[in-house]
Structure 1
Amino acid sequence: MDNEGVFVTKRSIKWLATLALSASLPAAASTCGDQGVWLQVLGSGGPEVGDQRASSSYLIWHNGKARILVDFGSGALLRFEEAQAKIEDLSAVAFTHFHVDHSGDFPALVKASFFSPRTAPLPVLGPSGNHLLPSTEQFVTRLFNESSGVWPYLSDHLSGNGAYPLIPHELASNSTQPTTVWEGVSAKLSGVGVNHGPLPAIAWRADIGGKSIVFSGDMSGRSGTLEKLAQHADLLVAHNAVPESARGVARRLHMPPSVIGTIANAASVTEVVISHRMLRTLERKEETERFIRDSYKGLVHFANDLNCFAVP
């Protein structure tokens, strides 16, 4: 874990306490343990060129196996390989929304699965759509439909004639109460609609192995729904696409650090992981943490690609 969240000012004794707390954190882990629940950040960046990061993607490990993918933006497939994850181990894939930087490598994952022994159906979870972004079913169909898809040669994954089928599961993006969308043997995924301007978006909660991880995805924080989903979560992955000073379109789409802190505090989450770090926020770690800590007193970590976090 790359804990870059140390911030101290001469003006505040509180920041000396923060320094002591941060200094006690474990060092960054580039591989996840083979026992318990771990979060691995495959992509900690956004849609830009120049941040030297893969786009948004997260992998949940349980007892040494890669079980749940959340988002799969550009560059994520390479990180998936570097993490030594196996496609046949995946229980489900969940998308927060269908911007390219959250979903662009999914077709490559499906193609790569041809060279794996996977035979189990793969649930694909995501939001409903509108005129700006497809629904989950439309997303899968427009990629792989036999007659009209971009890659019809992969249509066997829709028809059931392939090694395994893709099974879309959709949650209304205007949902206001946490809803369980998929449940497996030892894990479940629940979601709720969040505000990402006019774009359909879902925040997800994974309950697995007795632990809980919540993914905000891209959101403005104006819907008041993430607080419900994240109640008492062990880990909240929050996106830091804009600085506190953001205004206009950027603010209508994304939450600033102060809102991250307010939500984390209201939900009583144990730890926060800051991700989706962009050029406009990468050099503002100290400022970001300061605004978060105005409301939230728990541990704050800043993610880099391939960081592993043991879920407390």
Structure 2
Amino acid sequence: MKTQATRDGYPEQYYPNTEELKKDEMRVVALGTGRPFLRRSQANASWLVELGNGDKFVFDFGFGSQMNFTALEIPYSEVNAWFATHLHTDHVGDFGQVWVGSWAGGRLKPLEVYGPSGLEPKFGFKHFCEKQMESYAWDTNSRVGALPAVGAEVNIHEFDYSKTQVVYEDAGVKIISFPAVHQVDGPVSFRLEWNGLTFVYSGDTTPSQLFIDNAKDADVVVHETFNTVEQ
């Protein structure tokens, strides 16, 4: 006797972390789609991409987005890497939760984070992460001995924002960074390729030929919108 109605082999109701992902499939989950000011029901920007080979990647981690990630009941240790498109708070505001929260939540491996450089070192992702980590010195020191030490480790991968380049490649997954047009130098967009499937995420950007070229033939494209055409 079936306990859950199905349609075309898929359950009518979705429960966190229970829907089967086939070996040749890719699943994209919006963890946050909000504007810079946080809303109760809409977190800042963040996107989870799950692949049929078991790999998981998160693109951006704006304020509030990690509440939605933890609601999925996915173990933090299953996330391969976290990627930031740029350093506006609505895209990286949950860094503390991504780092310390995931450590307290059972992550048993170093945190792998990727982000762009800037015109000066102080505008780059490495500087941002190091200063954030420094600000949590009391917090992390209080957890030493109570939590596995490996969870406190962070591998920061900063790359040149101005280049179109492969920034991650492993187990058949390739993630490419390319420049985005957003206020000042530094922002990037990402293209993930795996098993003949492609996901492209703009982060914050205005329409550009570079984005059009990199989004060509993609299976899923997420492009930022902020105001209406009239605005």
Q: TM-score range by the shorter chain?
A: 0.7 to 0.9
Residue 197 of structure 1 corresponds to which residue in structure 2? 183
Residue 105 of structure 1 corresponds to which residue in structure 2? 94
The one-letter amino acid paired with 2:112 is P
CA deviation profile, 1:199-254 (whole Å, cap 9, x unmatched):
520000111343110001101224x32123222111110111121124xxxxxxxx
Residue 206 of structure 1 corresponds to which residue in structure 2? 192
Q: 1:84 to 1:210 in 2, by over 3 A?
A: farther
What is the CA–CA distance in structure 2 between the aligned matches of 1:65 and 1:79, rounded to whole Å? 20
Secondary structure at the aligned position of 1:225 is classed as helix
- How high is the TM-score relative to the length of structure 2? 0.79
| 1:279-290 matches, cutoff 5 A | none
Contact 2:38 2:64 in 1 (8 A): no
CA deviation profile, 1:269-311 (whole Å, cap 9, x unmatched):
xxxxxxxxxxxxxxxxxxxxxxxxxxxxxxxxxxxxxxxxxxx
Residue 188 (structure 1) shift = 2.0
| 1:18-167 matches, cutoff 5 A | 33-35=20-22, 36-50=25-39, 52-63=41-52, 65=54, 67-130=56-119, 134-144=123-133, 149-153=134-138, 154=140, 162-164=149-151, 165-167=153-155
Secondary structure at the aligned position of 2:42 is classed as coil
Structure 2 residues without counterparts, runs of 5 or longer: 1-11, 142-147
What is the RMSD computed on CA atoms of the aligned residues? 2.7
The one-letter amino acid paired with 1:211 is L
- How high is the TM-score relative to the length of structure 1? 0.60
Residue 225 of structure 2 corresponds to which residue in structure 1? 240
Q: 1:230 to 1:114 in 2, by over 3 A?
A: same
Worse overlay, 126-135 or 41-50: 126-135
Residue 6 of structure 2 corresponds to which residue in structure 1? none
CA deviation profile, 1:155-206 (whole Å, cap 9, x unmatched):
8xxxxx931432222232222xx31011122322111011102152000011
Structure 1 residues without counterparts, runs of 5 or longer: 1-26, 156-160, 247-312
Residue 172 of structure 1 corresponds to which residue in structure 2? 160
Q: Percent identity?
A: 23
The one-letter amino acid paired with 1:53 is Q
CA deviation profile, 1:73-97 (whole Å, cap 9, x unmatched):
1111110011222210011111010
Contact 1:96 1:202 in 2 (8 A): yes
What is the CA–CA distance in structure 1 between the aligned matches of 2:74 and 2:193, rounded to whole Å? 20
Contact 1:143 1:152 in 2 (8 A): no
